[in-house]
Structure formats: structure tokens, C-alpha cells
Structure 1
Amino acid sequence: MKARRDRRDSRWDTHREQRRGQLVGAAVTAIRRDGAGVGMDEIAASAATSKTVVYRHFGDRAGLYTAICESVAGVLLAEVRRATAEASTGPGAGPRAAVAAGIDAYLRLIEIDPELYRFVVHRPLLAQGAARRAGTGDTPDPVNDMVSVIGDEVAGAIAGYLPPAAGTGAARFWGHAIVGLVRGAADDWLARPDGTTREQLTAHLTDLAWSGLSGLASPVEVQP
């Protein structure tokens, strides 16, 4: 009897995870359609359900917001990994190309999904929930978690080109510094458009980042 109950519980776990994934997808659809300021009513309508059902799966607004951030982080991390890996092989491969590819992958998400980026970074859904329970400020920040993971990924790409004497700490600091640089410029690019294209911004940021890396990380392979 216990084995039968365990299998049944496992099936329900799978169902719940699938349902959570469906609700996150519906929320992303609502964000793209209605903008970053979308509310819970619009998200529930997009999922063809009620807010009560959404809260049942995520607990509260913060739980849903965190799940959306995790989904976006997964997509962004996969794109950064793919782009840097491709830039590290083939014609013109090297650390500078990898840095440029990682920056471009980050900016591409903003260009394709600006409202989703605003939703994740500026947290309008949480701002709407002014009556959140006390203590939620002590929970981990999914945006900072996402930035940390991407920073570690960029650091790993840089470390692959460093001599052993440089140490892993330098690569970690440089990787996170590049992510901070890109995020700050990207936020301004989105908030105050002036006609600068993604390709142009990628080139500007790569030039700035590489001018520091190529000097500090010598004898890292330097590309023109």
C-alpha cells in the first residue's frame, strides 16, 4: 500500500510541476501582451483560471515572480553559454569574441523581450503587492541570483584563457564586473532609446571591457 501511495504522490508532483510551468508560460504571455505592469487579474485570465489557483501553486505574488525570474534566467543562461561556446571555436575564435558574444546574447533578450526584461528587473508585480507579508524582504533576490549565475558563466569563459598564475579570483571579479557593466548600460539603452542598435552597443561594451581585460590579463590572447 505504501509503494502505491508513493507512486501516486510522485505522479501528483509531476502534475504540479507541469501546471506551474503552464502558469509561468501564461504569465509570460500576459507580460508580452499587456506590458511589464501586468496585474494578477490579467495573468490569471491569460492562464484561463483564477487568481486563487495561481496563488495555490506559487503562494503569493513573490512566488510567481520568482518562478518567472527562474524561467528567464534559464533561457538567458542557455543563450549566453551557447553564444560564448560558439565564439570560442571556429574562425575568429578567442576570448574577445567570447566576451562580445556573451554581451550580445544578454542584449538580444532585451531587444526581443523588452517588457519581460522590465518585469524581471524592475519588479512591478511586487510593487503592486503593497500588502505583502512582513519578512518577504529577507527572501533571496532572484534578480541578484540570476546576475550572479551569469557572472560566474562569464568568469568561466574568461578563466579558460588565463594563465594559471592569474588565479581564479581575478576571472570571477572580471566576469561579474562585465555583467554589471552590461546591465547598467542595457538599462539605460532600454529606458532612453537614442537609435543605438544592439550591434553598436555590443561593440561599444566589448571595446570597453576588452581594453581592461587585455591589459590586466596579459598574457591572455589579445585580438585586434
Structure 2
Amino acid sequence: MKVGRDKRDSRWDAHREQRRGQLVGSAIVAIRRQGAGIGMDEIAAAAGTSKTVIYRHFGDRTGLYTAICESVAGVLLAEVRRATAGALADPARGPRAAVAAGIDTYLQLIETDPELYRFVVHRPLLAQGHGGRRGTAAEDAGTDPVNDLVTVIGDEVAAVIGTNLRAPGPAGASAARFWGHAIVGLVRGAADDWLARPDGTTRAQLTAHLTDLAWSGLSGLASHVQEAPS
């Protein structure tokens, strides 16, 4: 027999979710101020609480890390969707501009929030919990929020490409999916190098370089992908 939850317990769900959101927000602010290598003690101090309270809400450091990743992913995905949709809605621009807009949005996160990007992608908080060994979220919780984020963005880029295929159908959809994820991998690899080894290249310049490379491949498939309007 299914037993319903005690109303005295369920009525606190909204409060718990609100408190989790506050703790994630405080952690993000602390990461920006103190850097990606911040530890749990510093995160707790920035939130005005204790590690025990944080663990009560998130289980462990992996739970907090995952929640931060989900927050960053939500903002980034919304921005990518807004940027690509804006480009596609402009008849003077088109799919090439949409690819450029998506790339630029990803790079903007790195330019404006480099420490937060390092924290999410390179997982220093989880490494602290493995005696200096770089653990992964997959090892700790069975899922990898970074790979989840990359998958979602790859699917988003694939959708942009897929809507501009001249040969729709299962084969076209499959090709669009692979192309979308290939572009995300291309951008992520170049972006990591751009952050790690700055040489004066601006975000606009890198966006142009990566768009040229990505679109030269897509536009080369002339029988499948529409060119941007001239």
C-alpha cells in the first residue's frame, strides 16, 4: 500500500529548495572572488554557515558541485538558445550567424567567469576530496554534470543545423547530431587552450576563427546544409 508523505514534511520542500538555491548562489560568488581552487571551508564561510549544514542539503561535496554545474548549465543553455534564435530570426543573418552566436556565447562564459568555468570543467573541489587525485563526478555519483552539459549544448547546436538541412529524414538527423557534437568538442578544446595559454587573442577573434573552421566543414556539405543568405 502506497503511503503519502506527511504534510508536515512536504510543506518544507519549497523552503529546502530555496535554501539550496541560496547556498549555490553563495558558493558561486565565493568561487568568483577566491578562485576555482576554493575549498569547502571557504564556501561554508562565504555562505555564513558550516560544512555540516551544506552536507545536510547536498549530501557531500559532489552534491554541491553537481548543483553548481546545474545552475551554470541552466544559465548557459538559456543564453545559447537566445543567441542562436536571435540570429536565425534575422533574415539578413542565417545559420552561419547562429553557429557564430552559439560559439561566442560559450566563450563569453569563459571571458566573464574564468574561475567559475575552471571550477565546473576541471573539478578542483572533487580533486580535494580524493587526496589530490582528480576524481570525476561519474565516479562519485554515477553521472557527470559536465558531460551532461556538453551533451545538451551539442543537441542544441544539432537542432540549429538540423532545421537547415536540405535532406531531412533519419540520415539527415543523425548527421546533424554528430556535426553538432563535433562543433561543441571543437569549441571546448580551443576554449580550454585559450584560457590556459592566453596570447592576446580576443573573444571576437577566436569566435571568428572557430566559426570559419566549423562552417567550412558544414558549408562544404553543399547538398545537405543551406548556406547563410548573402
The one-letter code matched in structure 2 to 1:184 is: G
* 1:157 equivalent in alignment to 2:185: no
1:160-213 deviation digits (Å, cap 9, x = unpaired): 100215521000000000000000000000000000000000000000000000
How far apart, in 1, do the equivalents of 2:5 and 2:130 lie? 44
**1:101 to partner: Cα distance:** 0.3
Say if 1:162 and 1:217, in contact at 8 Å, map to a contact too.
Answer: no
Counterpart of 1:167 (choices 168, 172, 186) is 172
From the superposition, tell whether residues 4 and 121 of structure 1 become closer, same or farther in structure 2 (CA, over 3 Å).
Answer: closer
Identity of aligned residues (%): 78
* Residue number in structure 2 paired with 1:206: 211
C-alpha distance 217-150 of structure 1, shift in aligned 2 (>3 A): farther
SS at match of 1:88: helix
Q: Residue 198 of structure 1 aligns to which amino acid in structure 2?
A: R
Q: When you count helix as a share of all residues, which structure comes out higher?
A: 1
- 1:93-129 per-residue CA deviation (whole Å, 9 max, x = no partner) reads 2110100000000000110100000000000000000
Show the counterpart of 2:31.
31
RMSD (CA atoms): 1.9
In structure 1, the partner of 2:120 is: 120
Go from structure 1 to structure 2 and tell me whether the alpha carbon gap of 1:4 and 1:212 turns closer, same or farther (over 3 Å shift). Answer: closer
Does the 8 Å contact 1:95/1:158 carry over to 2? yes
Note the C-alpha offset of 1:217: 5.0
Contact kept in structure 2, 1:159 and 1:171, CA below 8 Å: yes
Q: 1:140 aligns with which of 133, 139, 143?
A: 143
Structure 1: which 5+ residue stretches go unaligned? none
Number of equivalenced pairs: 220
User: Hey, what does 2:22 align to over in structure 1?
Assistant: 22
- List gaps (5 residues or longer) in structure 2: none
Instruction: Write the mapping of 1:1-224 to structure 2, written as runs, cut at 5 A.
Output: 5-6=6-7, 8-130=8-130, 136-137=139-140, 139-163=142-166, 164=168, 167-216=172-221, 218-223=223-228
Give the 3-state SS of the residue equivalent to 2:199 in structure 1: coil
Q: TM-score, normalised by structure 2?
A: 0.90
Code of the aligned partner of 1:173: F
Report the 3-state secondary structure (helix = DSSP H, G, I; strand = E; otherwise coil) of the residue aligned with 2:117.
helix
Residue 62 of structure 2 contacts residue 141 of structure 2 at CA under 8 Å; is this kept in 1? no
Which SS does the other structure have where 2:89 is aligned? Answer: coil
